[in-house]
Amino acid sequence: MKLTGSLRSGFEPREGTRLLLRFLEREAVTLRMSAAALADHGLIVACAAVGWWAARHGLLGLPTVLLAWLIVTQRLRALENLVHYGGHGHFSRTSRRWNDFLTDVLAGAATFSCASGIRTSHNGPHHVGLAIPNLDPDLRRLIELRADELEGLSGLALMRALLVRLPRYALGFWRTVGGDARTLVRGLAFHAAAWLGPAMLVLGPAEGVGAYALTIVVPILLLVPFRFLAELEEHLYSAPASIVEATPQNEHRWAWLLHPHADGEHLMHHLFPNAPFWELRRLRLVLERTDPEFRRRVRRRRTYLGRMDDGGGGGGQKAA
């Protein structure tokens, strides 16, 4: 994982793509970003309610509880991704204060993160310092966790290796997203007002606390390994020549689960960080159709942490 120097984009968009990009970077985003966050909250509340109803049926309801945990965890990850986009100013193009307010209220408070933290500790360090060990916080975190030792593991061996790394990973990620006492207090206040309080009013104090613990707290704990699994395949840090080689497209069967809100289009986000997430796939398809060189160089992951395919479908470098 040793690398020095900064990475070039390794890509120059053609005139037609630049015109499309200029349009997308000016596209109105506030309503659609807000709607995405509210939809995530709606799914979380609905699945939490179904999960608690199923839990009251004992073992017969266990499959439904497990499914509810999975969906709530995944939508919490989706909210985290919206906070990430909010750190890039995607909730408002015109006002940083309004952008940060919407990001923190609609997505950040639920996931104990904030737009200003992402902007400070992620935007410059990760995007500008991608793959530079003393600058890139994501790479630094993986080095500290000896993530290269996870290569080739699967099943129970992978789970054991992840579990021993989770506490240190959680602390490192918390620092990266600007975690501090204020973020914690804001998150706890949101949980009390939006989830715990209503549950106690509807179900009674004791049952409400139980429902909140089972259907919200458990998924928050599950979010830590869920996020770790997703982050492990966002970049290739084994001597990439440019951002294109360092950032694969995750197109395997579980990508939709691990990478909500177009996080699987991570390469497009690094090349065009101002483009809204719902346009990233469109941008990639335009590039692949109009630029054979880009299509040839893009790396595609067909299985989780699997070997790379290039744009022509050939074999590639193994994930680091």
The tally of domains found in the chain comes to: 1
User: Binning pLDDT at 50, 70 and 90, where does residue 244 land?
Assistant: confident
pLDDT: which is higher, 202 or 132: 202
Q: What mean pLDDT is predicted for residues 81-105?
A: 95
According to the model, what pLDDT value does residue 84 have? 93
- Is residue 148 in some structural domain? yes
Whether residue 18 has pLDDT greater than 70: no
- Assigned domain for 307 exists: no
Q: Is the pLDDT of residue 318 over 50?
A: no
DSSP class per residue in the chain = ----SPPP------HHHHHHHHHHTTS--HHHHHHHHHHHHHHHHHHHHHHHHHHTTGGGGHHHHHHHHHHHHHHHHHHHHHHHHHHTT-S-SS-HHHHHHHHIIIIIGGGT--HHHHIIIIIIIIIISTT-TTT-HHHHHHHHTTGGGGTT--HHHHHHHHHHHHHHHHHHHHHHTT--HHHHHHHHHHHIIIIIHHHHHHH-HHHHHHHHIIIIIHHHHHHHHHHHHHHTTS---SS-SSHHHHS-EE-STTHHHHSTTTTT-HHHHHH-TTS-GGGHHHHHHHHHHH-HHHHHH--EESSTT--EE-TTS-B-PPP-
Residue 10 has pLDDT above 60, yes or no: no
Q: Which domain holds residue 37?
A: 29-239
Closest CA to 102 of 46, 29, 43: 29
- Does residue 104 sit within a domain? yes
In a domain, 162, yes or no: yes
pLDDT band at 119 (very low <50, low <70, confident <90, very high): confident
* Tokens 């069967």 found at: 253
Please report, for residues 159, 160, 275, the alpha-carbon distance to residue 259 in angstroms, rounded to integers and kept in the order given: 19, 22, 17
Question: What pLDDT is attached to residue 175?
Answer: 73
- Rounded to the nearest 10 degrees, how much is the dihedral formed by the CA atoms of 120, 185, 216, 174? 30
| pLDDT tens digits along 146-181 | 877 777 777 788 888 888 888 888 887 777 776 788
The model carries a pTM of 0.87
* Domain contains 289: no
Q: Counting beta carbons within 10 angstroms of the beta carbon of residue 94, is it exposed (0 to 12), middle (13 to 18) or buried (19 or more)? A: exposed
Q: Residue 223's pLDDT is what?
A: 93
Report whether pLDDT(16) > 60: no
Residue 208 maps to a domain: yes
Sheet holding 300-301, edge to edge: 249-250, 300-301, 308-309
pLDDT value at residue 105: 96
Is there a domain that residue 92 lies in?
yes
What is the tens place of the pLDDT at every residue in 252-296? 888 999 999 999 998 889 888 888 999 899 888 888 888 888 888
Distance CA 42, CA 18 (A): 36
**Which residue, among 217, 216, 196, has the nearest Cα to 205 in the 3D structure?**
196
**Is 216 inside a domain boundary?**
yes
